[in-house]
Structure 1
Amino acid sequence: MSSPRQLADLPYASHLRPFDGSLTVDGDYDTVHFDGGQFEGADAGQARFLESAFSAVAFTGGRYRGARFNDVWLDGVRWVGSDVADSDWLDGELIGCVLAGLEMFGTVMNRVTFHRCKFESVNLRTAELREVTFADCLLRDTDLGGAKLTDVAFPGSTLDGVRCGNARMTRVDLRDATRLDITEGFDALRGATITGGQLLELAPQFAQAIGVTVQERGDALRAPRTARRKRQGR
């Protein structure tokens, strides 16, 4: 895994111009640098962001449904409670970002890398993720129900309360995840690769998912004796 790029490393860095204006529906933002701005309740549905950079920007609420993010770089961005559903991401890099309470169902991501990002209650249902990497990230209460994941990896990441019901996985690598807490959709792991240690940790959930009761023989034998003692004491 390569280190995150700095702003100056971007091939279009010398062409970036400061953002001056407002976000609008169907807006076109080409080689724009959003630096330290705050957008609250903005409506940028169907907007197009091409070769643009976002530094320490805060998005609160608002609508970005169907927006396109092509070759974008986001560093220290905070995105809370927004509608980003059906958006399209191609060749993106997000570093130290916080995504909380986002509606991102139906989103399509291709060749996107997240570095040290925090996901809190993000809805990625029916999303399509291809060649996406979550490096050293936290995914808490993230919903991947019905999503399609292909060539996705989670090196150094913590999965906490992730739901995968009806998801489809192809060449998904979970071996380097530091925690693998999946609360729904264990059958979706059919196309994933995990370690033997992770398999042992997940064994109780796998058993529960398929209706298998795990009980040691000693526990089963003690129950009748206890019952007999109770009867004898009457």
Structure 2
Amino acid sequence: MSKIKIQKPKIPKGLETRNFEGSGDTFFHQCVFEGETIYGEDIQKMVFEQVIFKNVIFQEATFRNIELIDVIFDKCDVSNTDFSNGAIHRVEFHDSKLLGTNFSESTIRNVQFSNCQTNFSSFGFADLKQVVFQDCLLRNAEFYEASFKNVGFTQCDLNEVNFSNTSLNGVDISTCTFERLIVTLEELAGCEVNTSQAIAFAKILGLSIKDSL
């Protein structure tokens, strides 16, 4: 488990169930969306505050400049949804699909991704603080020129993740698996790795590893 402390979403009990389709609203507060499909929406500056999404499918949805505050996504499919330039605070994604989801240039605070399929997702130029990825598939995910502070990856598949121009100082990836990362030696400085990972990085740098006698 990650040692990073994450503030959990502040959600009251007894939320009313609502339908997104046909509401015409751009602000949703203290409600639950369950078992519906949100299709083809293209809305700027949508706000969800103290909201639960359960078994909800997003299809061809664009919510640039979204505000997600105290929100839970439980068993949802948010694949290819555009959340770019968003403000995302105290949010949890559980057992959800986020294939190709776009979080680029977003401010992300106190967010947990647990047991999620997050391959090909984009966090380019995003500002992440107090963020944990737990048991996630992150193959080919994009963290280009992202800013990290107290970001953790635990038991994740990081193969082919792009960390170009993103400092991994203080980031622990020792429990994760990967065959290759897109990262430079300078960006790796201060990154916490296990012994086999350290040997793999040394080989990438062209060092010849010999067993000690």
Coarse TM-score class (shorter-chain normalised): 0.7 to 0.9
Q: Is the 8 A contact 2:169 2:188 kept in 1?
A: no
CA distance in 1, matches of 2:23, 2:145: 31
Matched, 1:66 2:65: yes
CA distance in 2, matches of 1:26, 1:169: 40
Equivalent residue number for residue 176 of structure 1: 175
State the percentage of identical aligned residues. 22
Q: 1:180 to 1:31 in 2, by over 3 A?
A: farther
CA distance in 2, matches of 1:182, 1:40: 34
User: Which structure is larger by alpha-carbon Rg, 1 or 2?
Assistant: 1
Q: Is the 8 A contact 1:143 1:164 kept in 2?
A: yes
CA distance in 1, matches of 2:17, 2:167: 41
Where do residues 36-47 of structure 1 align in structure 2 (5 Å cutoff)? 36-47=35-46
Equivalent residue number for residue 128 of structure 1: 127
Alpha-carbon distance, 1:55 to partner:
0.5
Alpha-carbon distance, 1:93 to partner:
1.1
Q: 1:143 to 1:59 in 2, by over 3 A?
A: same
CA distance in 1, matches of 2:209, 2:177: 28
CA distance in 2, matches of 1:11, 1:195: 36
Greater mean deviation of Cα atoms: 19-28 or 43-52: 19-28
User: Which deviations, in whole Å up to 9, do the C-alpha atoms of 1:35-69 show, x marking residues without a partner?
Assistant: 01101111232111111101011111121111011
Equivalent residue number for residue 203 of structure 1: 202
Equivalent residue number for residue 48 of structure 2: 49
Q: 1:18 to 1:26 in 2, by over 3 A?
A: closer
CA distance in 1, matches of 2:136, 2:207: 34
User: Which deviations, in whole Å up to 9, do the C-alpha atoms of 1:193-226 show, x marking residues without a partner?
Assistant: 1122211122222x1xxxx47599xxxxxxxxxx
Q: Write 1 or 2 for the structure with the bigger share of helix.
A: 1
Give unpaired runs (5+ residues) of structure 2: 3-7
User: Which deviations, in whole Å up to 9, do the C-alpha atoms of 1:125-168 show, x marking residues without a partner?
Assistant: 11111111111111011111100111111111110110111112
| Other structure's SS at 2:73 match | strand
Q: 1:39 to 1:80 in 2, by over 3 A?
A: same
Equivalent residue number for residue 83 of structure 2: 84
RMSD (CA atoms): 2.5
CA distance in 2, matches of 1:94, 1:111: 12
Length, aligned pairs only: 205
Equivalent residue number for residue 166 of structure 2: 167
TM-score (norm 1): 0.79
CA distance in 2, matches of 1:73, 1:85: 18
Where do residues 22-37 of structure 1 align in structure 2 (5 Å cutoff)? 22=21, 27-37=26-36
User: Which deviations, in whole Å up to 9, do the C-alpha atoms of 1:84-104 show, x marking residues without a partner?
Assistant: 111111111111111112222
| Other structure's SS at 1:101 match | coil
| Other structure's SS at 1:71 match | strand
Paired residue type of 1:67: I
Q: Write 1 or 2 for the structure with the bigger share of strand.
A: 1
Matched, 1:140 2:110: no
CA distance in 2, matches of 1:106, 1:25: 27
Q: Is the 8 A contact 2:78 2:99 kept in 1?
A: yes
TM-score (norm 2): 0.86
Q: Is the 8 A contact 1:102 1:121 kept in 2?
A: yes
Q: 1:185 to 1:37 in 2, by over 3 A?
A: farther
Q: 1:11 to 1:69 in 2, by over 3 A?
A: closer
